[in-house]
Amino acid sequence: MNKAETARSGEDTRILYLALELGRREWKLGFATGMGKRPRERTVKAGGIHGLKDEIRRARRRFGLRQDAQVVCCYEAGRDGFWIHRFLKSVGVESHVVDSASIEVKRRGKRRKTDRLDLGALLRLLIRYWGGEKKVWSVVHVPSPEAEDARHLHRELETLKADRTRVTNRIKGHLAGQGVLEVELRSGFEPVLDSMEIWDGQRLGGHLRSRLKRDWAKVQWLNEQIREVEVERRALLKSSKDPAVEMVRQLQAVRGIGHNSSWLFVAEFFGWRKFRNRREVGGLAGLAPTPNQSGEQKQEQGIDKAGNRHVRAMAIEIAWGWLRYQPGSALTRWYQEKWGGGSSRMRRIGIVALARRLLVELWRYLETGALPEGAVTKA
Rounded to a whole number of angstroms, the CA Rg of the chain reads 27
How far lies 177's CA from each of 65, 190, 191, in Å?
A: 71, 18, 20
pLDDT at 11: 55
3-state helix, strand, coil in the chain (%, to 5): 50, 15, 35
pLDDT tens-digit series, residues 248-273: 999 999 999 999 999 999 999 999 88
Taking the alpha carbons of 250, 256, 259, 260 in that order, is the dihedral positive or negative? negative
**Residue 122: is its pLDDT beyond 80?**
yes
Q: How far apart are CA 281 and CA 336, in angstroms?
A: 23
Q: How far apart are CA 270 and CA 248, in angstroms?
A: 10
Angle (CA) 264-267-270 rounded to 5° is: 95
The pTM of this model reads 0.82
pLDDT at 188: 77
Is the Cβ–Cβ distance between 77 and 98 less than 8 Å? yes
Higher pLDDT, 31 or 306: 31
Among residues 249, 252, 371, which one has the least CA distance to residue 318?
A: 252
Q: How far apart are CA 178 and CA 181, in angstroms?
A: 8
DSSP 58-97: HHHHHTT--TT--EEEEEE-STTTTHHHHHHHHTT-EEEE
Is the Cβ–Cβ distance between 127 and 162 less than 8 Å? no
Is the Cβ–Cβ distance between 196 and 203 less than 8 Å? yes
Q: What percent of the chain has pLDDT over 90?
A: 69
Which stretch of 274-288, 289-303, 336-350 has the lowest confidence by average pLDDT? 289-303
pLDDT at 6: 47
Tell me which DSSP letter residue 102 carries.
G
**Residue 7: is its pLDDT beyond 50?**
no
Which stretch of 79-93, 102-116, 227-241 has the lowest confidence by average pLDDT? 102-116
Higher pLDDT, 198 or 83: 83
Is the Cβ–Cβ distance between 21 and 14 less than 8 Å? no
Mean pLDDT of 151-170: 94
Whole-number average pLDDT of the chain: 90
Is the Cβ–Cβ distance between 153 and 267 less than 8 Å? yes
Is the Cβ–Cβ distance between 265 and 327 less than 8 Å? no
Taking the alpha carbons of 220, 222, 225, 229 in that order, is the dihedral positive or negative? negative
Q: How far apart are CA 238 and CA 245, in angstroms?
A: 9
Q: How far apart are CA 210 and CA 226, in angstroms?
A: 25
DSSP 109-122: SSPP--HHHHHHHH
Helix (H) or strand (E) holding 22: strand 16-22
